[in-house]
Every structure is written in C-alpha cells, then in structure tokens.
Structure 1
C-alpha cells in the first residue's frame, strides 16, 4: 500500500469551538508537517464559488486563444500568464521548466477591480475573480489570527495586522494552474509545440521541488487528480491525498493549507515551510529537488489517477511588502531559536523585507523573464 502524508484535518467553521484548542491544533500541525487540511464546509469559501473558479480555469486554459494569453505574459510584479516551461521552480535540478501553465491575479483595488490586463475571453469574470480573491484573503486572516493565538504572540494579532490590505501593498497572488495530461501533451511553449516524446518521465516534473515564498498558501484541488507530493523530514517523497480519510463524501475536498517561508522566518523555523512538488504520478522518480536525495515518490493514492489533465487553484498569502523578517514576540519562538542556536532562520536574511525575499525567489524561478530584461 502506498505511504501517504499523514496530515491532520481541522474544522474551523464552528464559531462555538474552543478557539484556543483549534489554534493549538493548527500550530502543532504547522510545526510537524507544515501542511494542514482545512475542512471546507462551505462557510469560509462557498462550494459553488470553488466550482466556478475551476470552471473559469478551464475556460482560461482551454478556450482562450494563446494570443490573448501572450498579451498578458507575466511581468516582474508576478502578475499574468506563464506558458509551458516558463517557470522553473527547481532550477538546480530540472533539465527543463515546469510542465504547466499558470495565470496570476494580483490583489484587486479598493474598488474591486483587477490592477492588470486579463484576456478578453474571461473579462466578464473580473468581479468574480476579485470576490474569490477577497474570500481567500478573509480565510487567510482567520488562519493567521489562530496561529498568533496558538503561539501566544504579543500582540496576538501580529500576523493578522501584517496582512491587512489597508496597511499596504503585498505580493499576494491568486493563481490558476493547468497541467496537461502526459498522453496528450501538445501545449504551446513560447511558440513551439511540446511533444509527448519530449517528456522524460523519470526526470521531469509538473512543478519542481520548492517551498512557498509567502506566509501561507491555500490550495484547492479536484477529486481524483493526483500529483502533489511533500518531502518528509527523512528526505522521502510521499503523495498528499486530495481527500484524506473521513472527507471522501464531503461536497468539496478540504482546502490544503501550507506554511510558507515567511511564517517560518518569523518563527525561527518553528513553523515548517515544507518542500513540495507536483509529479507525473506513476512514473519512477529520480528524487531530484533536494540535495540529490533519493526519494521514491510518484506512487498513486487509491482513488486518484495521474492519467488525465490536472487543475489546481492556489492563493499565495503575502504580508505587506515592507514587513521585516525578524522573529515575532513569542516566548515559544524565542525558546525554539535558542535551543537550535539561531536567532532567525538563515541569519543573513534577518533584515530582509517580505518584498525583497519575494523578488529574490522570483528571479531564481523566472529565468527567461530576467534574462530578457538583462539583454535590453
């Protein structure tokens, strides 16, 4: 039987719950796994809105002319369309860029308008995109509040305040993702056809191994679509089921939340920013992506398939750009740092701002974007 990630499922929808207990469960999951399933009862993010977001993704990636998407090619502000192979999340180990397309929507304006060009084919969806963005924002604020309570941060709303839109601009992104099926991979890649035979199943990945750049990520997936793996503390790759035990009959798969780099920096590494990737399920992995470790990976979870195309939606929550990456005022965070002989994760990043960290990571993954700029 395939070994899978044993990630806790937490229901935060009941306002009558003991919030301190819920906060404790969230923190412990963030420490041990860096990933948490949030049971989606439809209260935080309505089920019909999640369905509509996936329908929008299908329209964008399957019905929108490539010329419209190319006119919205991603820029240094991390907004817009990235074509097949345009992003390389693990440049040290990937022979080619990621086998995926993506479209990034930045935060809407105070009047709920998108502050970037979008393809005319989906222009009528602008109000919905802004609303879905805001729903995810509110859920991320709730989770940040609970993490602050669970860590006894002083003041307890430190994380929440750091992410309020009214406190300044941020790198927060709502991202629609499309991974073509392995058997019919003929998508455009910067004007060139990508043939099925160009994929080396033992080497290539749909999204390279990486940790997320921001504070936390909300990930929405579709039932039956395999591919996501996380790296364990022992260096092995294990799949993350879309529907963990007990959620198979829920109207929507649980929202998968993972801790990003900034919450890890802010907590001296106590909260874990876990390395993860998206693979061609069923192919034999070579373990690339983490210092040459030989992870087995690529096993299928019962009830999931790697044969067809794959869609996902990620909300990358980032704090206000000017926030410093220094340890938060928490006795538990301070004690953990002292026990591990460090004041912060990677001390040289101590005075980086959230925006500086994001730009550093983007330059490493969007090689073509920055190479083209340097040639000008």
Structure 2
C-alpha cells in the first residue's frame, strides 16, 4: 500500500451499488479511505481552518477561561500537553477545542452538554456549526454504504447516530521548539468512535500503519477528506473493518517550525446503542472478539485511558 484508497463520493448518488463496493473494500484493506468529490465547499473548509488558526492565536489566559475541569474535555478548550495516547509514555504536542452537537434539551441524553463558544471570535460558532452539519451528513452517507456492505438496511446507522455525542475538534500542533523532545504531535493510536472524518491539514505528518507494520505517509488529492474506521465500528464488525493505528509525526524542517492545523470530526453512536458484533461478522473461524457494551460506557472507559477523564 503506497497510500490510502480514494473513494469518489459522487457515485453515492449516481451508482449506489458501486459506491457500496468501493467504500467497503476500501475499508477492508486498511480502515482508511480518502473521500473525493464529497460536495463540501472548499470555502467552508478553508473558513474553518482559518477560524482554527485565529482561535489558537488567542492569548493563553483567554483560552484557559474556556477550559472546563471535570468535563473530560467534552466541550471547550483542552490545553497543550493534556492528552496522552493509550499506552504512550509522553503527552501529545497539541491543544484543541471540542464542539459538540447543538441540542435544544438534553433530557434524553444528558451526555450532550452545551457547547462553549469564544466570545472573542463572534463568527466561530457559525463557522463550526456549519462544518459540523456538513461532516455529520457526509459521515452518514459513508455509513449508508457501510450498512449495505454489511448486509444491513441502508438506514441502519442513521437512526443509531442521529443523536450521537459526535465531536468536531479544531486542533493545533504548535511549532516544535525542543527538537530533541521525546513527544510527538500525536502518538500512535486508534480512534474511539464509529468513523472519523478529517479536514486539513495543509502540512505533512499523518502516517497510517499498514498490515505489514510499516508506516505509510498519507498522501491524498487536494481537497479530499480522510475518513477512517474507529474502534466502535471495528467492534460492531468483529474486526472485519479494522480500526487502524495512525499517528502525526514531528515533520522535518521547515515544517517543524510552523504550526499545523487540522479538524477531525469524530462521529459517535447515540449513547445507549449497544455495540455487539453483527451476526454476519461472526463465524467459527472468526468468533466474537469483544463482549457487548453500550457506546457511552465504552467512550468513558477509553477517555480514562487517554487521560481526559481522571
């Protein structure tokens, strides 16, 4: 594998059966694809990346006003050097902000807490909610293809993620001051959620582990959106669709002397969805690998592992 497979999202409307095969086979290879012709305007993406740059350019004391202790980083600001990958020895070299689903009330799912918006950037809310909605819909289209590939009804996932605790994460990797640091921008890890959609970055560094154990730099067409399988979907498919280890390495000069910005969207199941291997993904040769668990219980378990919940 030289890089990740590309999937043309325009086929979703013109030849759904072909889309199903390309998305399913793409994910079976290595859990990562790049979505082209996805329909999200370049202006929406560039505005969001510019807003991310403006957000992290705010003074430290201003950003820290939006850090909410006890929430596990669920909304608002998480300072530099907080998150650590599962089983890693050093913290990641990043700071980030979490935007969740905008909800009228959280009676059904108290996990869907109110968003935190920086009053210093009045356009930030509109920019990020527009991107959240666009990526949420794109993710649902991907999941429609995956559902049919797995022998499920086309709307199997839509009704299981429509109130999910999904997260948009504007992310900043600052310039690397200490060139000898043992830390990297994001240590090797797998994502917790169902699928992740990633816009940006305009800088190199993302690498995916191939099945042979080699690290593959991700090279994609300009404007494509990277979309990978998370651990929740891996559990649901009993490993048929793999959640692949990936990392963001410290790049060579001159890239290590500038900031890197990206915005992943972590698409989640509704909190009460039971994650249990689909019957057609279980066989004598491939028995069920994991016990059933609710999406919220699994999320909390993993957030403790990466240091966001103590």
CA deviations over 1:258-290 (Å, ceiling 9, x no partner) = 00001111101100100111110249xxxxxxx
1:1-376 equivalences under 5 Å are 5-14=2-11, 16-40=13-37, 43=39, 45-62=40-57, 64-74=58-68, 75-76=71-72, 78-90=74-86, 92-94=87-89, 96-110=90-104, 115-153=114-152, 155-165=153-163, 170-182=164-176, 185=177, 196=178, 199-200=180-181, 203-223=182-202, 225-241=203-219, 243=220, 247=221, 250=222, 252=223, 254-282=224-252, 305-329=255-279, 331=280, 333-335=281-283, 338-340=284-286, 342-343=287-288, 345=289, 347=290, 350-366=291-307, 370=310
What is the number of residues matched between the two proteins? 302
Shift of 1:351: 2.4
For residues 207 and 15 of structure 1, the distance between their equivalents in structure 2, rounded to whole angstroms, comes to 32
Match of 1:120, SS state, is: coil
Shift of 1:56: 0.5
Structure 1 segments, 4+ long, off by >6 Å, are none
CA contact (8 A) 1:40 1:255 kept: no
For residues 306 and 27 of structure 1, the distance between their equivalents in structure 2, rounded to whole angstroms, comes to 36
For residues 72 and 165 of structure 2, the distance between their equivalents in structure 1, rounded to whole angstroms, comes to 11
> Structure 2 length normalisation: TM-score?
0.90
Shift of 1:160: 2.1
CA contact (8 A) 1:136 1:315 kept: yes
Structure 2 portions without partners, runs of 5+: 106-112
Root-mean-square deviation (Å): 2.3
Please identify, of 140-149 and 67-76, the stretch whose mean Cα deviation from structure 2 is larger: 67-76
Structure 1 portions without partners, runs of 5+: 186-195, 284-303, 371-376
Shift of 1:222: 3.2
For residues 353 and 77 of structure 1, the distance between their equivalents in structure 2, rounded to whole angstroms, comes to 20
For residues 261 and 220 of structure 1, the distance between their equivalents in structure 2, rounded to whole angstroms, comes to 20
Larger Rg: 1
